[in-house]
Amino acid sequence: MEGPIVKYSMVILATARWAYRPRGRPDPEACYPVRPERQRLSLASLLLLECRASWFGVNFMSLDARPRGFAARVNDIEPFRVVEVLERATQLSAAGVDVVHMAAGEPDFATAAPIIEAGRAALARGETQYSQAAGIPQLREALSQHYAERYGLEVPPARIMVTPGASGALLLIAALLMNPGDGMLMTDPGYPCNRHFMRLVEGQGQLVPVGAASRYQLSGALVDAHWQPNTIGAMVASPANPTGTALSRAELTALSAAVRARGGHLLVDEIYHGLCYDFDAPSVLEVDPDAFVINSFSKYFGMTGWRLGWLVAPEAAVAEMEKMAQNFFISMSTMAQHAALAGFEPQTLEILEERRAIFRQRRDFLLPAVQSLGFDVPCQPEGAFYIYADASRFTQDSQAFCLSLLEQHGVALTPGLDFGHARANEHLRFSYTTGMDRLEAAVERLSRVLS
Amino acid sequence: MEGPIVKYSMVILATARWAYRPRGRPDPEACYPVRPERQRLSLASLLLLECRASWFGVNFMSLDARPRGFAARVNDIEPFRVVEVLERATQLSAAGVDVVHMAAGEPDFATAAPIIEAGRAALARGETQYSQAAGIPQLREALSQHYAERYGLEVPPARIMVTPGASGALLLIAALLMNPGDGMLMTDPGYPCNRHFMRLVEGQGQLVPVGAASRYQLSGALVDAHWQPNTIGAMVASPANPTGTALSRAELTALSAAVRARGGHLLVDEIYHGLCYDFDAPSVLEVDPDAFVINSFSKYFGMTGWRLGWLVAPEAAVAEMEKMAQNFFISMSTMAQHAALAGFEPQTLEILEERRAIFRQRRDFLLPAVQSLGFDVPCQPEGAFYIYADASRFTQDSQAFCLSLLEQHGVALTPGLDFGHARANEHLRFSYTTGMDRLEAAVERLSRVLS
């Protein structure tokens, strides 16, 4: 522990920062000024103000009129930069411009026909009412079976919860684990919503800059090096968005050991499982039965617009999260769950495996092509449908670069800023969620510009 | 402001409470004890611990190993008591017992056929991918039109967001408005999830016990009487769950004035609009364009299992919430939104109005019947599909009473505890979400027991 004087100064500083923090974009309609008392507060009072305790149930402050404003978290939650690209790409396409769409984070295939048919049948049967907050029993059972068949793992249905997308799983896990001020280690670059879910519940994502040395993943050594006093766990994705790198069983074991040694929680996003092209990514559950797994029907099962995911957790955690799901979701889409059951049927799996082969073929074309254009891709993207490319040879402002490639050459890519801060301005993400002919067209256009 | 010494003592007390607070149900797998350093902490250190600052981005504490545990909020979020009743009712029904189901909070009708058909058609067209985070433009436009036709209000689509159920709207509004420790006034009894959404983001629902004197609603006088230093707004529902009482335009105006005078936000849950039997409940937007409105396709439109709601807010608030919706939801169910468009067609509205007439008929039968059984229902339930009955003549433990009525007489009701604490043990909720013949059977059974 550092010296108490230093700490005390930090408290004063933090308190002052808090007292004068931005309160979100002001409401233009607001006409209720901060009361003058507020401005007369001494530092000592500020310290007391600081010590307001939400868990205590009362607040010591005497501010009985507040300006209408937004909560501080609103400033910390960032929009998706890619939306600007996507909207402009849609505009251009609508205006007749031939745009190659490589910015979206979803498969270009519509949901497989047997799943759609199962959804239509569920609607025809009138499956339109609420269902269980943890998911319909048949689907939890099917997921348990999935772990048995795909991973040789015994995961009872009681440890599995269906959620409204992987987003719902992230919300429940953040709500379960994060006290205010708690931190969760995560990679930069990584899926940006992860840290925003932590922020939502007044925790924080603690970004660890990662690069080729750790294949853009956390390792035991990185966990040790970046663990803070307030860190309560670490989160990884395998395969990862945006880099596509996956963790081996040995890497997961080392990571789990490092987090366990700190008494922390390990969260693994496995939403791109099934879309791995060099080996089948192992589940963290093979090496750590206490880890929290986040998964989804969006990617491999191609059900993005149905909003269905799942999580696996220790049984006691699921019981607590079920209570929260009752309160925060009531139910998932009932017909979507009945449709998802068809995802495990052999005829569907055949279609999904064909699509996996198509994604692999696209990666095998696009990766060397992107590299020969002059982008650096130091690690093999083993899964997902992304290539995260170092564009520093061409730009120090990838957002502007993306918009210019779109405007002038009709190629829509995602700027690195959507995935964090670590050299984000020098990176782009290519999604191979469009056909081979379109990928070829994009590479040809880019080769004319960049050579 | 009270004396600093009193405050300081409160801080110390709060700090000690925090330091020794329960950390949620312990994980049985956990084997990482709290480090001994923790136990040697003096009160002074505890005060420093208390002053940990999530917005500051670092934490001053030196606890670098934590026991695996759950966040404090987990203890504060309560399960639905009715689930026990519902599960037992389902068991009994499955075992051949004739149960009258009056516990559920959803219409007994399946979704209207034109909406189901529109959903099936959307699936057939392949509407299975992500859509805009704020909702598809056609649906926001249709909702804008709905406000024009139904209320004579001009509400531009830019002020309307489609959400994953009213639950999603509550999440976004809580995230937008509540800083840690902030409070939101709400009625007790009321919909329990409201306070849990506030707790999720480290705010608090401030329950105001309400009764017949205010028709179970907040009033300007109650707002004035219960406003706390940390209160930032007030929330009401009209018509309300569980009491069915609705607010008139004059009552909404008074409420809005009281909240505005405090510089607070007014939130109105209008999810039972369209299901009002004595008059059409006015929207708060008729008297306060800055109010936040929560609404849903679940109740009047009968789309519970589709998970679709909406909110109306000032335009600047919608822009901020859209950013959060990108992060927390990505998208709503795409086919559900296309299906919901059919909810506004004349043939659908005809069906929905027929159902409204059926609900009214049920209420007109059940209300006097329940009163003549000896339950006190002091205020006319003007809408929704609930009767909140004072059962103090029969019980001081409505949870046990509900279970015994179910076990012994096959009538499933909801215990008052699901709606708050104020005399909750003496109240029950009857849902008239079953046919007239079943309601008659329930009344007959109850008359045999209770007379």
Separation of alpha carbons A422 and A424, rounded Å: 5
Q: Which residue in A123, A178, A206, A303 has the most chain B C-beta atoms within 10 A of its own C-beta, making it the best mutation to test that interface?
A: A123
Same domain, A261 and A384: no
For a pLDDT cut of 70, what percent of chain B falls above it? 85
B30 or B177, greater pLDDT: B177
Strands B204-209 and B183-188: parallel
pTM reported for the whole predicted model: 0.86
| Number of other CB atoms surrounding residue B79 within 10 Å | 17
* Same domain as A263, residue A161: yes
| B residues 50-69 closer than 8 Å to A (CB) | 50-68
Question: Count of domains in chain A?
Answer: 3
In this prediction, residue A67 carries a pLDDT of 45
CA–CA separation, A100 vs A413, rounded Å? 9
- Cβ proximity of B196 and A327 under 8 Å: yes
| CA atoms of B311 and B307, how far apart (whole Å) | 14
What are the structure tokens assigned to A338, written together? 């009945």
Cα torsion through B116, B120, B122, B124, rounded to 10: -170
Q: What pLDDT sits at residue B59? A: 35
Q: With a cut of 70, which residues of chain A have pLDDT below it? A: 1-68
Tens-digit pLDDT profile for residues B388-432: 999 999 999 999 999 999 999 999 999 999 999 999 999 999 999
Please list, in sequence order, all residues whose beta carbon lies within 8 angstroms of the beta carbon of residue B18, skipping any fewer than 6 positions away: A53, A55, A56, B46, B49, B50
Number of A–B residue contacts, CB under 8 Å? 372
- β-pairing, A204-209 vs A231-237, is unpaired
> Does any domain span residue B192?
yes
Could you give phi then psi for residue B233, rounded to 5 degrees? 175, -175
| Binary contact (A331, B304; C-beta < 8 A) | yes
Residue B14: pLDDT band with limits 50, 70, 90: low
| pLDDT, mean over chain B | 88
Q: Is residue B391 part of a domain?
A: yes
A295 and A334 housed in the same domain: yes
Which among B125, B124, B121, B105 is positioned nearest to B113, based on CA atoms? B121
ipTM reported for the complex, 2 dp: 0.86
Give yes or no: residues B135 and B229 share one domain: yes
Q: What is the 3-state secondary structure (H, E, C) of chain A?
A: CCCHHHHHHHHHHHHHHHHCCCCCCCCCCCCCCCCHHHHCCCHHHHHHHHCCCHHHCCCCCCCCCCCCCCCCHHHHCCCCCHHHHHHHHHHHHHCCCCCEECCCCCCCCCCCHHHHHHHHHHHHCCCCCCCCCCCCHHHHHHHHHHHHHHHCCCCCHHHEEEECHHHHHHHHHHHHHCCCCCEEEEEECCCCHHHHHHHHCCCEEEEEECCHHHCCCCCHHHHHHHCCCCEEEEEEECCCCCCCCCCCHHHHHHHHHHHHHCCCEEEEECCCCCCECCCCCCCHHHCCCCCEEEEECCCCCCCHHHCCEEEECCHHHHHHHHHHHHHHCCCCCHHHHHHHHHHHCHHHHHHHHHHHHHHHHHHHHHHHHHHHCCCECCCCCCECCEEEEECCCCCCCHHHHHHHHHHHHCEECEEHHHHCCCCHHHEEEEECCCCHHHHHHHHHHHHHHHC
Compare all CA atoms of chain A with the CA of B109 and give the residue at the minimum distance.
Answer: A129
What is the structure's pLDDT at A14?
54
pLDDT tens by residue, B43-82? 444 444 434 333 333 333 333 333 458 999 999 999 888 8
Give pairs for B223-228: CB < 8 Å, separation 24+: B223/B185, B223/B255, B223/B258, B223/B259, B223/B262, B224/B258, B226/B185, B227/A64, B227/B185, B227/B262, B227/B264, B228/A58, B228/A59, B228/A64, B228/B183
Q: Chain B closest CA to A257's CA: distance in Å?
A: 13
Strands B265-269 and B292-296: parallel
Shared domain for A101 and A117, answered yes or no, is no
Residue A432 CB contacts under 8 Å (≥ 6 apart), including other chains: A102, A359, A362, A363, A366, A385, A386, A387, A439
Residue that the structure tokens 């505009």 belong to: A91
**Smallest CA–CA distance from A124 into chain B, residue:** B116
> What is d(CA A288, CA A385) in angstroms, rounded to the nearest whole number?
27
CB neighbour list of residue B166: distance below 8 Å, 6 or more residues apart: B269, B271, B294, B295, B296, B298, B309
Residue contact B229–A63, C-beta within 8 A: yes
- Measured between alpha carbons, how far is A356 from A384 in angstroms, rounded to an integer? 10
Are the beta carbons of B50 and A54 separated by less than 8 Å?
no
Tell which residue, B196, B190, B184, has the closest CA to residue B226: B184
Residue A211 is part of which domain span?
113-344
| Domain annotation covers residue B11 | yes
Cis, bond preceding A239 (omega within 30 deg of 0): yes
- Per-residue model confidence as pLDDT tens digits over B221-248: 999 999 999 999 999 999 999 999 999 9
Task: Please tell me which residue, B258 or B21, carries the higher pLDDT value.
Answer: B258
Domain boundary residue, one of A321, A344, A367 = A344
In angstroms, the Cα distances linking A292 to A283, B36, B366 are 11, 28, 48
**Rounded alpha-carbon distances, angstroms, from residue A87 to A135, A159, A397:** 34, 40, 19
Residue in chain A nearest B170 by alpha carbon: A328
**Closest Cβ–Cβ partner in B25, B62, B330 for A316:** B25
- How do B231-237 and B265-269 pair as beta strands? parallel
User: A14 is written with which tokens?
Assistant: 């933090």
For chain B, the distance separating the N- and C-terminal CA atoms, rounded to the nearest angstrom, is 56
Residue A141's pLDDT is what?
A: 98
Residue B286's pLDDT is 98
Amino acid at B140: R
- My answer on whether A154 and A63 are in the same domain is no
Chosen domain end from B344, B368, B386: B344
Is residue B63 a part of any domain in this protein? yes
CATH number of domain containing B171 = 3.40.640.10
Compute the distance between CA of residue B260 and CA of residue A68 in angstroms, rounded to an integer. 9
CB A334 within 8 A of CB A139: no
In whole angstroms, what is the distance from residue A186 CA to residue A242 CA? 13
Q: Is residue B285 one of the residues assigned to a domain?
A: yes
Is the same domain home to A397 and A431? yes
The answer to whether residue B340 is domain-embedded is yes
Sign of CA dihedral A222, A228, A229, A232: negative
Question: Residue B57: its pLDDT value, please?
Answer: 31
Whether B309 and B353 map to the same domain: the answer is no
**Residue pLDDT, tens place only, B115-153:** 999 999 999 999 999 999 999 999 999 999 999 999 999
Report the relative pairing of strands B411-412 and B100-101 from DSSP bridges: parallel
Residue entry with tokens 């043939």:
B347
pLDDT of res. B83: 83
State both tokens at B51.
Answer: 């002053």
CA distance A83 to A183: 28
Contact of B42 with chain A, judged by CB distance below 8 Å, is answered with: no
A80: which residues sit within 8 A by CB, 6+ positions away? A192, A418, B326, B327
Residues of B in contact with A62 (CB under 8 A): 1-2, 229
As to burial, measured by CB atoms within 10 angstroms (0-12 exposed, 13-18 middle, 19+ buried), residue A127 is buried
Residues A176, A307, single domain; the answer is yes
Extract the tokens encoding B197: 């959404």
A400, A436: one domain: yes
Same domain for B56 and B146: no
Q: Is B335 on the interface with A (CB under 8 A)?
A: yes
Q: Which residue of A has its CA nearest to B27?
A: A316
- B198 dihedral zone (left: phi>0; alpha: psi -120 to 50; beta): alpha
Residue with the two structure tokens 């004063």: A12
Instruction: Look at residue B370 in the predicted model and tell me its pLDDT.
Output: 98
CA atoms within 13 A on the CB side of A90: 8
Question: According to the model, what pLDDT value does residue B225 have?
Answer: 98
Q: Which residue of A has its CA nearest to B232?
A: A66
Interchain CB contact of A317 with B (< 8 Å): yes
Closest Cα partner for A244 from A215, A201, A203, A223?
A: A215
CATH number of the domain at A86, please.
Answer: 3.90.1150.10
The answer to whether the Cβ–Cβ distance between A324 and B77 falls below 8 Å is yes
Omega before B114 within 30 of 0, i.e. cis? no
Distance from CA of A39 to the nearest CA of B (A): 13
Tokens of B300: 């009047």
Q: Label residues A138-154 b or e (16+ Cβ within 10 Å = b).
A: ebbebbbebbeeeeebe
B7 and A177 within 8 Å at the Cβ level: the answer is no
Query: Are residues A24 and A36 located together in one domain of the fold?
Result: yes
What distance in Å separates residue A371's CA from the closest CA in chain B?
30
Q: What is the band of B437 on the pLDDT scale with cuts at 50, 70, 90?
A: very high
Distance (Å) of CA B19 to CA A10, B45, B72, B201, B260? 20, 10, 11, 20, 38
Residue B290 has pLDDT above 60, yes or no: yes
Question: Are the beta carbons of A328 and A171 closer than 8 angstroms?
Answer: yes
Task: Identify the pLDDT of residue A29.
Answer: 35
Which of A291, A324, A344 is where one domain is finished? A344
